[in-house]
């Protein structure tokens, strides 16, 4: 039958849909978790021809997947890529307050005074920012701290420390939403497990 009316409902399980005599296939949803190394750009395409995260996941799927949010070129750690636009939008939306935990290495020890300032919250050029949690990394020098934050503002973790005169030497995202880097070496990717996907969707109801 030829469809001439907008909003005609089809059943993907039973109906075969063709356009210009070509069969249209429903896109398969793909969810890929990458442990991003340094020196890769979080974009699908770079005019300056720098290396992008898409090169690292090229063998994961034939579907077109996109990064959810972004990590700076020199930031490492967890990055989710998917073709599920609905999930990506919800994870990126500020109202869902998606948790991110970073391990930070600074150029010098973080003083107790500056630790307290960050913990109480700072006024940056684009508004007030207060982390959800802040701690020194156990067994390390006070140059290493863990910070939990749900803000999605650009370069927010680097800017927090830079505003107090510190330089961020290393920045690694170790937790994103309910996902962790467990058993995922730097530069490698894996598909999300069913239970991880369920947990993710549960966070953004």
- pLDDT of 155 above 80: yes
pLDDT in tens, 40-74: 999 988 888 899 999 999 999 999 999 998 899 99
Angle at which helices 85-92 and 194-203 pack, to 10 degrees?
A: 50
* 68 and 105 housed in the same domain: no
In a domain, 78, yes or no: yes
Residue 12 confidence (pLDDT) above 60:
no
Same domain, 198 and 136: no
pLDDT at 154 over 90: no
Number of domains in the chain: 2
Whether residues 184 and 124 share a domain: the answer is: no
Q: Which is more confidently placed, 172 or 45?
A: 172
* Mean pLDDT to the nearest integer, 9-35: 71
Which is the catalytic residue, given 39, 46, 72, 84?
A: 72
Domain that holds residue 112: 99-176
Task: Say yes or no: 85 and 185 in one domain.
Answer: yes
| 142 and 88 within one domain | no
> Are 137 and 155 found together in one domain?
yes
Residues 6+ apart with CB under 8 A from 122: 128, 129, 130, 160, 163, 164
Active site residue 72: yes
CA distance 98 to 117: 23
Name the residue among 201, 200, 126 with its Cα closest to residue 160: 126
pTM of the model: 0.85
Same domain, 171 and 189: no
Please report, for the domain that includes residue 90, its CATH number: 3.30.70.580
The pLDDT > 70 percentage for the chain reads 87
Q: Are residues 83 and 119 in the same domain?
A: no
64 and 86 in one domain? yes
pLDDT at 103: 97
Cα separation, 81 vs 66, in Å, equals 5
Identify whether 10 is part of a domain: no
The answer as to whether 50 is a domain residue is: yes
Calculate the average pLDDT of the chain: 90
């Amino acid at each position: 039958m030829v469809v001439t009316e907008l909003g005609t409902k089809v059943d993907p399980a039973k109906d075969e849909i063709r356009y210009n005599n070509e069969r249209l296939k429903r896109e398969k949803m793909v969810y890929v978790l990458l442990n991003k190394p340094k020196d890769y750009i979080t974009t699908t395409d770079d005019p300056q021809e720098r290396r992008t995260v898409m090169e690292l996941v090229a063998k994961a799927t034939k579907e077109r997947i996109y990064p959810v949010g972004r990590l700076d070129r020199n930031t490492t750690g967890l990055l989710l890529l998917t073709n599920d636009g609905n999930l990506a939008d919800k994870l990126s939306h500020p109202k869902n307050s998606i948790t991110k935990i970073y391990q930070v290495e600074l150029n010098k020890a973080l003083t107790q005074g500056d630790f307290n300032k960050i913990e109480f919250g700072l006024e940056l050029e684009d508004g007030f920012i207060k982390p959800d949690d802040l701690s020194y990394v156990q067994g390390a020098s006070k140059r290493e701290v863990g910070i939990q934050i749900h803000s999605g503002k650009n370069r927010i973790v680097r800017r927090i420390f830079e505003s107090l005169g510190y330089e961020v030497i290393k920045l690694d995202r170790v937790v994103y939403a309910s996902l962790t880097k467990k058993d995922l070496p730097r530069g490698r990717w894996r598909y999300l497990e069913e239970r991880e996907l369920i947990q993710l969707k549960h966070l953004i109801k």
